[in-house]
Amino acid sequence: MAETEIPTVHWADHAADRLIERSPNQPVYVCASGISPSGVVHIGNFREVITVDFVVRALRKKGKAVRFIYSWDDYDALRKVPKNLPNEKLIAENLRRPIAKIPDPFGTHTSYASHFEDLFEKEIAQLGVRPEFIYQCEAYESGRYVKWIETALKQEEMIRKILNAARTENLEADWTCVTIYCSDCGRDTTAVKAYRAPQTFDYHCTACKQDRTIDMSKTPGVKLLWRVDWPMRWDFERVDFEPGGKDHSSTGGSYETGCHIVREIYRREPPVYVQYDFVLAKGMGNKLSSSTGNLITLSQALQVYEPNVLRWIFASRKPNLDFSIAFDLDVIKTYDDFDRCERVALKAEEAIDKKHNYENRIYELSLIDSEAKPARCPPQFAFRHLCNILQIHQGSIEKALNHYQVTDASDRVRFVSRSERAWKWICDYAPQEFRFCLRGDNAPMTKTPQPAALADLASLIEGADFGVGEDVLTTQIFDITKKHSLPPKVFFEAVYDALISKKAGPKLASFLIAIGKEKAASLLKRAL
């Protein structure tokens, strides 16, 4: 498809246009993301990589070649023990060492870093995000950046001026742009005593209480500080696009100083930048953080949200606005909104205000496989109704399948995927007032104070034609309240008590239809 035929309606398309306008003839565009695996990588961290994924897809849709890289900053030192991890003593004993050099506290991987890296890589693959991974411990220790470190050291005074301009207090006189991991203890508890250009350092380790010398061309252990490391890699990897969090985007923040450093030291323009804001967990009210243990992982989210729906949650919001991942009743609204977007995109429903192009673009970016857009709208299983059906059948997906009469193999896969998540949500997250269970055959039954009215309802159900729809049944139910001069609330409480031992429940007409004539009438008669 020609570029002019592709509507630019999404923020990711606008970002792609900025890249193309800046370098129209570039053979390959490099889009970058990354994080330090200092603990569990949570869904807030996912916002960065999915932000890049959207722009990567936008560029490819415009016919551009893209290199999508994800850097694991596992050469960073671990400075404190995160909460909610096992074997805290083991972690504490290895503080100030590179994350990639610390043993895995779970005992399942080769290192602390690889444990969390492997988990997150598998999680994002389920969401159709497949970047090229770069492991910074490996990159640094291979000597890949030696020449770039030398360049920074040659112009260290310029870097100092750039950083001081963003600070309220100047850096200390002995400041240097590198940190050194001690060749004996492996910690960054060192102070540079002298630098002999181009590659040799004398340093003192406060943990070992020893003086040492290191030649970074022969021995690994020298690393640029974060504010210099980030722009250095922009130049090394020729990065064209990389987003950053709100904490990096403030005046004087690491993105602003990085722009000055990459221009002044490495003579390269900084990448096109998009700020993304925090992701919250509904009801928690705080920024997600691995170090505090206040987090929700992608695996947890995928237990409740289908991959396409989870992608849609991010695709339907501008990155510079914060939002909450819902685990309360708003889960139902999220699924309803996704289903509506799907219907509009696939022209099964008319777009409000003719916003078809926008809804269609969001839907495309929500797909795990961007090339697998359905030709028609597949069957949709409304989340609230599905939850009711599953609760009627006590979580039996097979019985729910029979209720919906799903026979097509692909439709069955789609149904099971949503049903598994609906049942998980009911069991683990749904508020108590949403949950119910039909009275069992042997459950004690309190006699109703409205026997005549319930008897009429039981007779109505036994003779009703459910095929006429719930609107007709609703009218007939209200006719019973009028016949017996009962306030609807009083009557409905009696009905729900007979059905599920509660004073309220799902919309009554549709609920009775879902339960079925025989079972619903039997429960009502038992209360007489």
Report the percentage of the chain scoring pLDDT > 90: 87
Quick: pLDDT tens for 39-48.
999 998 999 9
* pLDDT greater than 80 at residue 429: yes
299 domain-assigned: no
Q: Give the C-alpha distances (Å, rounded to integers) separating 187 from 113, 183, 297.
A: 16, 8, 29
Q: Give the C-alpha distances (Å, rounded to integers) separating 144 from 102, 147, 224, 242.
A: 22, 8, 13, 21
Q: Averaged over 395-417, what is the pLDDT? A: 94
Q: Which residues pair with 31 in a beta bridge?
A: 68, 241
One domain, residues 87 and 9: yes
Q: Residues with Cβ < 8 Å from 508, sequence gap 6 or more?
A: 474, 477, 492, 495, 496
One domain, residues 231 and 208: no
Q: Which domain holds residue 395?
A: 383-434
One domain, residues 57 and 91: yes
pTM score: 0.93
Q: Averaged over 207-228, what is the pLDDT? A: 97
Quick: pLDDT tens for 178-199.
999 999 999 999 999 999 999 9
518 domain-assigned: yes
One domain, residues 192 and 107: no
Give the confidence band of 345 by pLDDT, cuts at 50, 70, 90. Answer: very high
Of 144, 159, 154, the closest CA to residue 233 belongs to: 144
- Name the one residue in this structure whose structure tokens are 């919250």: 280
491 domain-assigned: yes
Number of folded domains that form the chain: 4
Quick: pLDDT tens for 139-173.
999 999 999 999 999 999 999 999 999 999 999 99
Residue 286 class from Cβ within 10 Å (0-12 exposed, 13-18 middle, 19+ buried)? exposed
Q: Give the C-alpha distances (Å, rounded to integers) separating 167 from 24, 172, 212, 251.
A: 37, 12, 32, 10
* pLDDT greater than 50 at residue 235: yes
pLDDT value of position 466: 84
- Residue 263: which CATH number? 3.40.50.620
CB burial string 186-198: b at 16+ within 10 A, e below: bbbbbebeeeeee
334 domain-assigned: no
Instruction: Please list the helix, strand and coil fractions of the chain in percent, rounded to the nearest 5, in that order.
Output: 50, 10, 40
Phi-psi map region of 72: left, alpha, beta (phi>0 left; psi -120 to 50 alpha): beta
Give the confidence band of 4 by pLDDT, cuts at 50, 70, 90. Answer: very low
Of 197, 86, 115, the closest CA to residue 150 belongs to: 197
355 domain-assigned: no
d(CA 253, CA 476): 66
One domain, residues 466 and 485: yes
One domain, residues 209 and 250: no
One domain, residues 78 and 124: yes
248 vs 105, which has greater pLDDT?
Answer: 105
One domain, residues 97 and 220: no
**Which alpha helices (DSSP H) does 67-197 contain, by range?**
88-93, 112-126, 136-141, 146-154, 156-164
245 domain-assigned: yes
d(CA 496, CA 498): 5
CB burial string 461-477: b at 16+ within 10 A, e below: beebeeeeebeebeebb
One domain, residues 63 and 191: no
One domain, residues 119 and 244: yes
Quick: pLDDT tens for 84-128.
899 999 999 999 999 999 999 999 999 999 999 999 999 999 999
Of 54, 80, 113, the closest CA to residue 366 belongs to: 54
Q: In this structure, which amino acid lies at residue 436?
A: F
pLDDT value of position 447: 85
One domain, residues 118 and 205: no
